[in-house]
Structure 1
Amino acid sequence: MDLADRDAMASLFDQQKFQRVIHLGAQAGVRYSIENPHAYADSNLIGHLNILEGCRHHKIEQSALRLIQFSLCCPTTGLRFFTVYGPWGRPDMALFKFTRAMIAGMLFHNRTTTGTVETGSPATSSAPYRVYNIGNSQPVTLMSYIEAIEKALGITAKKNLMPMQPGDVLETSADTEALFKAIGFKPQTGVEEGVKNFVDWYRDFYRV
């Protein structure tokens, strides 16, 4: 279902009589947003608004939503995910691309630094209108990230160092203090362990 389809979303809320809503659907990926910004506006703004309106009109008890929003309709928890990686990760993410390229013996292009994260999703009715960052407050350099992939794969990457590209950022990290105060959650998985978990999954899933 297209989240931007107002009539379809209204019909969904009418039919299902939801009590709570967890919305994690969105158009992801910074680079594609430069190529096709309207896809992002349709999914992440219009689609998000349609879900908020469904919650408002149907008096949803509680919602947990991926994007930041201003909501007067029901207790709402906004979740901001930072560079999520791991098993079942998105194929357009660096870890997926680098792993695939290294196994295939392909050259890949290094561009920028990266922050690493693991996820947790707090949403309680006692914390309405909150926004939590889900991520790691300690940035990991791109070269350290690649070294972790090399170690997990037992392969040395063929690298082509390049300048910053459109959409690249120098550094990302998440301030997770509010999350810790709310539920006591702190990231426990180091980058080497997280990368190894992904590589083990990748090899098993793709039989490589």
Structure 2
Amino acid sequence: MNRDFIPGAEPLLIDGNEKGCLLLHGGGGGTAWDLKEFAYVLHSKTGMTVWLPALTGFGTKPEDLYGVTLDDWLQDAQSGLDKLLERCERVFVVGHSAGGLIALLLASEREEVGALVTWAAPLGVRNRLLPLLPVINKIPILRRAIPERYSTPVPNWLREMGWVGYDWIPTSIGFIMRDAMKRLKKALGRIACPV
């Protein structure tokens, strides 16, 4: 797929040694930009080959997130792992926020994941209304009460650093995250690599 990326939000491949690291960015309006500095530091300190893909719908325009599914992001992670396995003997997966959730799901499905690091990966949400979202979503009059977009406030200091991301994301991303957390609860026991 040919995507027109926002400058700075493009995927990043840093060639290195036979150890690889798949980096998965978060989904709250950020892009691959969020982890680029980390990718360069990781490579400079370890010599690892680093692949930082742009998850489907990110790095272009927020409208591209409409229609994206959890399986799209899992496929991005699967493809990223396969890309690194073609050139590396061992692959580590690191994920931030939604990327951490995707990394956990990937490790539950693929024994080739050598080790896993996640930070700020949501494993659950404390909101009694959350179970009602699927019902609300199916009733048009109630669905209209839910805003279509969620603003992602970005502090000025981050913008001054050159942050590249979205000022808003579709609220449907919340459904993807809910589905991912639900799927992960069933999959956690299948993760065999060091975490």
Normalising to structure 2: TM-score of the pair? 0.30
Pair member with larger Rg: 1
